[in-house]
């Protein structure tokens, strides 16, 4: 069964460092998303991406964040200068049909900022 | 904001019993979805109910939606130990919104 894959599964970084989280969405999906979940809290929307551009973003997704689809398969989230409060689980998701909205999530990348 | 509360925050029941979780939201929606998350894992889609539907079934799952009260419930019948997980409702707004807005979740523990 097709699945969304994310790498790395866990990354530890120093405050101020740049981090890139990678995702390979399901191949025939057209809409891509990043969500994050701080430990023990709810899942928060960061950004949605369609047709090679951001279609929607939250207040969390400030200038420190960027997304890119550098080739036909990868979808990346970059945090330019990490802060302690960026420590969270980051989930990539994708779907084929925006009208239904069912999302397929990856297993997540746990980011720990020290 | 679009999302409200889920209750209870935690629920512990015996295997074989039914589990009911509730979700409320604040704004008009296109659909409401329920997801399951095992500890430390990704979210898995369980069931979707559209704003013009009132009830939906999938296996041991039953979802209701009351748009007048802006609330939904998820019932898991004949619970199993493997149902132990966190359950989240998520709403998709109207007017072309793509994002899902998640609730706080209910931590369900099924005791064998």
Name the nearest CA neighbour of B77 among B3, B16, B18. B18
Report whether B74 contacts B34 (CB < 8 A).
yes
Report whether B91 contacts B3 (CB < 8 A).
yes
Determine, for residues A101 and B48 on separate chains, whether the beta-carbon distance falls below 8 Å: yes
The residues of chain A scoring below 70 in pLDDT are 98-100
Buried b (16+ CB within 10 A) or exposed e, A63-86: eebebebeeeeebebebeebeeeb
pLDDT confidence tier of residue B97, bands split at 50, 70 and 90: low
Q: What backbone phi and psi angles, to 5 degrees, belong to A113?
A: -105, 125
B101 interfacial to chain A (CB closer than 8 Å): yes
Percentage of chain B lying above the pLDDT 90 cut: 78
Give the residue, A72 or B108, on which the prediction is more confident: B108
Q: How far is B105 from chain A (nearest CA, A)?
A: 7
Look at residue B22 in the predicted model and tell me its pLDDT. 96
A100 interfacial to chain B (CB closer than 8 Å): yes
Choose, out of B92, B99, B102, B103, the residue to mutate when testing the contact with A (most A CBs < 10 Å): B99
Percentage of chain B lying above the pLDDT 70 cut: 94
Q: How many CA atoms lie within 13 A of B51 on its CB side?
A: 17
A5 interfacial to chain B (CB closer than 8 Å): no
Q: What gap in Å lies between CA A56 and CA A39, rounded to an integer?
A: 24
Return the SS3 of A84. helix
B41 CB neighbours in chain A (<8 A) are: 107-108
Look at residue B2 in the predicted model and tell me its pLDDT. 54
For the stretch B1-44, pLDDT in tens is: 556 678 899 999 999 999 999 999 998 999 999 999 998 899 99
Q: Give me the sign of the Cα torsion angle B85, A78, A28, A99.
A: positive
Q: Which residues pair with A110 in a beta bridge?
A: A10, A89
- CB pairs < 8 Å spanning A and B: 59
Nearest neighbour of A91 by CB, restricted to B31, B42, B99: B42
DSSP class of B83: G
Q: What gap in Å lies between CA B23 and CA A79, rounded to an integer?
A: 32
A43 interfacial to chain B (CB closer than 8 Å): yes
């Amino acid at each position: 069964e097709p699945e969304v894959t994310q790498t790395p599964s866990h990354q530890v970084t120093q405050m101020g460092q740049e981090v890139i989280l990678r995702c390979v969405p399901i191949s025939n999906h057209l809409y891509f998303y990043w969500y994050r979940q701080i430990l023990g809290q709810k899942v928060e929307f960061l950004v949605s991406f369609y047709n090679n551009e951001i279609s929607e973003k939250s207040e969390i997704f400030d200038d420190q964040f960027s997304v890119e689809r550098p080739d036909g398969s990868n979808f990346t989230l970059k945090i330019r200068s990490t802060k302690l409060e960026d420590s969270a689980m980051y989930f990539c998701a994708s779907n084929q049909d925006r009208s239904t909205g069912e999302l397929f999530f990856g297993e997540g990348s746990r980011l720990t900022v020290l | 904001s679009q999302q409200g509360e889920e209750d209870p925050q935690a629920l512990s029941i015996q295997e074989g019993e039914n589990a009911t979780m509730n979700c409320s939201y604040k704004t008009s929606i296109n659909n409401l979805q329920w997801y399951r998350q095992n500890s430390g894992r990704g979210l898995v889609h369980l069931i979707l109910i559209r704003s013009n539907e009132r009830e939906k079934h999938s296996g041991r799952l039953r979802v209701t939606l009351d748009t007048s009260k802006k609330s939904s419930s998820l019932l898991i019948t004949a619970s199993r130990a493997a149902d132990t997980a966190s359950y989240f409702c998520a709403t998709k707004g109207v007017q072309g919104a793509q994002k899902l807005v998640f609730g706080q979740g209910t931590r369900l523990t099924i005791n064998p």
